[in-house]
């Protein structure tokens, strides 16, 4: 399987309420997921960004999918952390620096593309057991990507499990295997950021994701 560590040091994605780049959160959770899968013999996780990208030009989302294809990976999970639309961010100035935060949304989101060559429900079949595993462990989905606001409008496929369609997302669409993007939580939310930054919380989330992936594989083989 391939784990795509979202973004890169040079292009770090969203910025948290306390000013930490998303990439740092993505990397920490991806490593926690590798550890959570270490005891599961069916998974041989390969980190896309870190293995292939050291000192090179950052991979585009499409190149990440193509790398997963070249590896012959049987599933792809792209690890991200979330923010909200710029209009919902509040600006504060502290110690000569500018920070932006929001309590508009919190929780995780799962994105799948219905435009995958492995079939339009390949990503959804992967997302369903992952969403179940998160729900049974008390995680709640943010609904803000499906809201009727500029920059969102994602078709919601499963409101309880927090699965939205993001058909054109290149890292999903160009993957030949079932692919899923997780926004593990909203780092623009100050209290949620503090939780997401804890190693214990990263291990817990990784354990939930691993359990979901195991359930998916059992279902696929059964
Ligand atoms: Zn991201």
The DSSP line for the chain is: -EEEE-S-SSS--SB-TTS-BHHHHHHHHHHHHHHHHTT-TT---EEHHHHH-TTSPPPPHHHHHHHHHHHT-S-EEEEEEE---GGG-EEEEETTEEEEE--S--SBEEEE-S--TT-TTHHHHHHHHHHHHHHHTT--B--GGGSSSTT--PPEEETTTTEEE-TT-HHHHT-SS-EEEEEEEETTSHHHHHHHTSHHHHHHHHHHHHHHHHHHHHHHH-
Work out the pLDDT band at 51, boundaries 50, 70, 90: very low
Mean pLDDT computed over every residue of the chain: 93
Tell me which of 18-32, 134-148, 177-191 is least confident. Answer: 134-148
Q: Into how many domains does the chain fold? A: 1
**Residue 102 Cα to ligand 1 middle (Å):** 17
Residue range 197-221: mean pLDDT, rounded: 96
Residue 145 lies in domain:
2-221
**Ion ligand 1 — residues with CB < 5 Å:** 6, 13, 80
CATH number at residue 176: 3.40.630.40
**Residue 111 Cα to ligand 1 middle (Å):** 12
Flag whether pLDDT at 152 surpasses 90: no
**Residue 30 Cα to ligand 1 middle (Å):** 13
For 53-65, the pLDDT digits (tens) are: 556 667 889 999 9
**Residue 181 Cα to ligand 1 middle (Å):** 9
């Amino acid at each position: 399987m391939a784990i795509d560590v979202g973004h890169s040091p040079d292009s770090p994605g969203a910025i948290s309420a306390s000013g930490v780049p998303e990439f740092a959160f993505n990397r920490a959770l991806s490593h926690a997921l590798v550890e959570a899968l270490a005891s599961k013999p069916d998974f041989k996780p390969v980190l896309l960004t870190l293995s292939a990208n050291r000192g090179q030009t950052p991979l585009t989302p499409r190149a990440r999918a193509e790398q997963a294809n070249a590896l012959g990976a049987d599933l792809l999970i792209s690890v991200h952390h979330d923010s909200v639309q710029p209009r919902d961010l509040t600006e504060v100035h502290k110690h000569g620096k500018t920070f932006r935060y929001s309590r508009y949304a919190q929780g995780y989101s799962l994105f799948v593309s219905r435009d995958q060559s492995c079939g339009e429900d390949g990503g959804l079949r992967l997302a369903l057991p992952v969403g179940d595993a998160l729900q049974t462990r008390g995680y709640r989905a943010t609904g803000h990507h499906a809201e009727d606001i500029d920059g969102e409008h994602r078709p919601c496929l499963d409101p309880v499990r927090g699965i939205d369609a993001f058909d054109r997302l290149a890292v999903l669409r160009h993957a030949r295997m079932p692919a899923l993007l997780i926004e593990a939580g909203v780092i623009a939310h100050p209290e949620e950021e503090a939780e997401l930054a804890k190693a214990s919380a990263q291990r817990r989330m990784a354990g939930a994701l691993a359990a979901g992936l195991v359930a998916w594989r059992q279902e696929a083989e059964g």
